[in-house]
A and B are shown apart, each in its own frame.
Chain A
Amino acid sequence: MRRYILRRLALVGPVFLLVTIGVFSLVHLTPGDPLTAILGEERADPQVMAALRVQMGLDQPPPVQYARWLGRVLQGDLGYSFRMRQPVAQAIVERVPVTAQLAFLAVVISLLVAVPLGALSATRRGSWLDLLSSTMAALGSSMPAFWLGVLLILVVAVQLRWLPPYGYVRPTDDLAGNLKAMILPAITLAAGYTAILSRLVRASLLDVLDEDYIRTARSKGLAEKVVVLHHGLRSALLPVITVIGLETGRLLGGAVVTETIFALPGLGRLAVDAVLSRDFPMLQGVTLFMAAALLLSNLVADLLYGVADPRIHYE
């Protein structure tokens, strides 16, 4: 087990370094002067620009610039956004709670729907319920998140007037208002995820129900419900842990669109605003932060899976 953990940890280092090279290169991919990209639309007089170029080390060769930048990043300094007039790290820290809450609610909703739905369609294979859940899964993964969001706003907020169509309320100001504002975005974000999870639970449970120990449990005369819930579902949920970790990227990507539709001040919105206002330090910071979050969640998922299933060994 220790070997597995060490090998898995050793893989993260090189990948993270490549990720940082990619993020660093973003500014240099832009046509034109990197200094202009960093400053945004702001123009200073040539002397100030020249001084800034030296001060920021942009007169140095790219490898030197990269090494210095990486050194600062590792100390938590993600640069300064001239557009927003604040440090990038500070802006990210302010936005993380919104995206984290949105993602958390989406995962909870997904699990609440996907596990029973997947289990029911596995145990009643071929029934109308199975067909319905397949259809819902196919639609859920084909529907763009922004369209589902628009439909929800149209029906729930505009027609029925049950919930606010968009906007954000801080939980510290008004918890009920916060939850009301987050329900539609969370459902929007959860849809695609639920589709994947319910199919996974179904397939995984079908595999498990074929195993010998399930036959043994059945032949002991245990009720089918007990067999499925206690013996089957418990091992069938193992791959679900991994997929939740692996699909964090989908959640973070989906958050970009969801936050834009529902006007939530989260990380995804920050990334879109950074692109639209050509705020490169901010774009670099958010991209790096999200990639690091995804790497970390994949790592945790793999390690948990290794701990949960002793049969897993690193080849």
Chain B
Amino acid sequence: MSRRLRRHALGALGGAIVLMFVMVGLLAPWIAPHDPLQQDVGQLLQPPSLEHPLGRDDLGRDVLSRLVVGARASLQVSFVSIGLATVVGLAVGLVSGYWRGWLDDVLMRLMDAVYAFPTLILAIALVGALGPNLLNAMLAISVVATPRFARLVRGQVLTVREREYVEAARVAGARDVRIVTRHILPNVLGVLAVQAALTTAFAILTESNLSFLGLGVRPPTPSWGGMLRLGYPFLEMAPWLALAPGAGITLTVLGFSLLGDGIRDFLDPRLRR
């Protein structure tokens, strides 16, 4: 029982972190204490102080404000790319798993092909081909994330479609579209929610990797990966520049992972171990 409580508490903690991240991202322009783009050449690399709790960067900009506004970029990239990957993956998985046949073969080989690339390499290659910016980073992340949803949904559909009530609906003359939307889809949504939370963690990590490599959000717009990239050369002089955004990424990714695990435990108590 205590273990169960602990798992629920961890899930709730994850939920709280995610909620905080979303709120900060949404309210960023109003809660940032200073203008994140305002430079001050007289105050370069100032250490943390009361006025600037996380110090100032190499252009004299307030690091806390950049961190807060940077959350917005992570929020935007992860939600748009995971939203897109969920919709496409759901459609592919439903079609593949329900109708089977040659279409299933073609779609699944396509997903296998996407999966055959190391994810970050594929994301880098796509961003490289399309041009390094925020929009293309979102597109690349949704492409590499789609097979995760498609395979999961397909597997779930394969088991659900054999159940008796689906058989009954079919015998009663229900059309395929109705069976899929009324009987199969609701059974898929649970695992989809878990996967969406876990894959959002992946998306935030991937976006920060891309921005760190200079292939994501373009400066001067602040993003956590980009802040780390800019802080890296000043590691010895001003370590706070790299520490703050890294902590932001780690905490947020941890939040989504805990939330995903929490939802899974809640939906399927057998997996509690």
Measured CB to CB, the residues of A under 8 A from B are 11, 14-16, 18-19, 22-23, 26-27, 29-31, 126, 138-139, 141-147, 150-151, 153-154, 158, 203, 206, 248-250, 252-254, 256-257, 260-261, 268, 271-272, 274-276, 278, 280, 283, 286-287, 290-291, 294-295, 298
Contacts and interface: CB of A to CB of B under 8 A. Distances in A.
B118 A278 contact: no
Nearest to B231: A150
A147 B119 contact: no
B3 A126 contact: yes
Contacts of B112: 11, 15, 18
A203 B249 contact: no
Given A250-B119, A272-B213, A278-B128, 17 more contacts: A144-B225, A146-B225, A146-B246, A150-B242, A151-B243, A249-B117, A252-B118, A254-B120, A256-B120, A257-B212, A271-B121, A271-B125, A275-B124, A280-B128, A280-B129, A287-B122, A290-B121
Contacts of B73: none
B258 interface: yes
Contacts of B225: 144, 146
A291 B246 contact: no
Contacts, number: 152
Q: Point out which of B109, B121, B201 has the most chain A C-beta atoms below 10 A from its C-beta.
A: B121
Contacts of A274: 128
B228 interface: yes
B117 A256 contact: no
Contacts of A260: 212-213
A15 B235 CA distance: 44
B61 to A, nearest CB: 20
B48 interface: no
A12 B205 CA distance: 29
A144 B250 contact: yes
Contact of A31 (B131, B243, B249): B131
Given A18-B110, A144-B209, A291 B130 contact: no
Given A150-B232, A290-B117, A275 B242 contact: no
Given A18-B110, A139-B254, A203-B273, A147 B121 contact: no
Contacts of B92: none
B239 interface: yes
26 contacts: A11-B112, A19-B113, A22-B117, A26-B128, A27-B129, A29-B129, A138-B254, A139-B250, A141-B253, A143-B253, A144-B225, A144-B246, A144-B249, A146-B208, A150-B235, A150-B246, A250-B119, A252-B121, A256-B213, A261-B232, A271-B121, A275-B125, A276-B214, A276-B215, A290-B121, A298-B116
B125 A287 contact: yes
A26 B125 contact: yes
Interface in B62-107: none
B116 A15 contact: yes
B246 A151 contact: yes
B257 interface: yes
A290 B118 CA distance: 7
Contacts of A139: 250, 254
B118 A249 contact: yes
Contacts of B253: 141-144
A191 to B, nearest CB: 11
A107 to B, nearest CB: 15
B235 A154 contact: yes
A295 B117 CA distance: 8
Nearest to B109: A14
A294 B116 contact: yes
A29 B112 CA distance: 21
Interface string B127-157: 1111110000000000000000000000000
B246 A147 contact: yes
Contact of B113 (A18, A276, A298): A18
Given A26-B129, A126-B3, A250-B118, A154 B249 contact: no
A14 B105 CA distance: 11
Contacts of B164: none
B236 interface: yes
Contacts of B119: 249-250, 253
Q: Point out which of A15, A260, A268 has the most chain B C-beta atoms below 10 A from its C-beta.
A: A15
Contact of B209 (A16, A29, A257): A257
A288 B225 CA distance: 26
Q: Point out which of A11, A139, A256, A275 has the most chain B C-beta atoms below 10 A from its C-beta.
A: A275
A274 B116 CA distance: 21
B124 A153 contact: no
A18 B105 CA distance: 13
Given A138-B254, A272-B213, A275-B127, A206 B273 contact: yes
